[in-house]
Amino acid sequence: MEKLAEVLSLMQSRMDHQEKTLELMQDAFLRALEKMEMRMTTANPAAAKHSIFDSLCRRIDKFYFDAENGRTFDIWYKRFKDVFDNDCAELNEQEKTRLLVSRLDEDSHQLFRGSIAPKSPSDLSWDEAIAIMDRLFGSGKTLFRRRFECLKILYDHQDFNSYETLVRTRCSDAKFDSINFDGLQCLIYVASTLRD
């Protein structure tokens, strides 16, 4: 019985020694990996930026303009605004604009390039690019028309969550938060004269 206890004790001490050795090796490996990573990012910052750019491209869906089905730039941009504002912090304005333009589908890209010719997208500031895309790929309906259509929404016994989403989206698109008294009066006059 004593020999068994000795063997178990010896095995336990060897296992403890192996565990400590393994921990030391893991620590050394992680330190070496961190050093390699530091060397790579400091030695080649362009590669690091390229990696960030590629990662962002994969996260941001392409923009396909279809005003008839509500696929406008402002709705798409709202979806990815947080990514552009926060995750693109390491990119300069020119790179950020290039990223934005790269996410346009082919038809939208051609329309955008044609509207800024002879300039290239990287010649534009971020705010200029956003303003141009808002103008080109916004709703084809006037603000008055969007507000009028919003007032005509009817509950058609659909799922209430879907209806709520529809109302919120349309009201946001109609920019009711910025309507003045005269504009509201005109809207009510027109809406009331067209009721059945």
Give strand pairing partners of 66. Answer: 71
Buried b (16+ CB within 10 A) or exposed e, 164-188: eeeeeebbebbebeebeeeeeeebe
pLDDT of residue 32: 77
Region 147-162 average pLDDT: 86
Of 85, 117, 111, whose CA–CA distance to 99 is shortest?
A: 85
Which range is least confidently modeled, 18-27, 35-44, 48-57? 35-44
pLDDT, residue 127, reads 93
> Does 107 score more than 80 pLDDT?
yes
pLDDT beyond 80 at 179? yes
Residue 137: predicted pLDDT: 92
| Residue 154: DSSP 8-state | -
Residue 88 clears pLDDT 70, i.e. is over it? yes
Residue 143 CA to its chain's centroid (Å): 26
Q: How far apart are the first and last CA of the chain?
A: 101
Q: What is the pTM of this model?
A: 0.59
Which pLDDT score is estimated for 40? Answer: 63
Under the banding of pLDDT at 50, 70 and 90, the label for residue 131 is very high
What's the pLDDT at 39?
Answer: 65
Taking residues 6-32, report their average pLDDT: 85
Q: What amino acid occupies position 53?
A: F
**Do residues 108 and 137 touch, judged by C-beta distance below 8 A?**
yes
pLDDT higher than threshold 80 for residue 156: yes
Place of tokens 């491209």: 57
Which one, of 121, 100, 89, 99, lies nearest residue 53 by Cα?
99
Q: How many CB atoms lie within 10 A of CB 76?
A: 20
Instruction: Give percent of the chain with pLDDT exceeding 70.
Output: 91
Query: Is the pLDDT reported for residue 57 higher than 90?
Result: no
For the chain, percent of residues with pLDDT exceeding 90? 23
Domains of the chain, by residue range, sit at 2-43, 48-136, 143-193
**Token representation of residue 106:** 């082919």
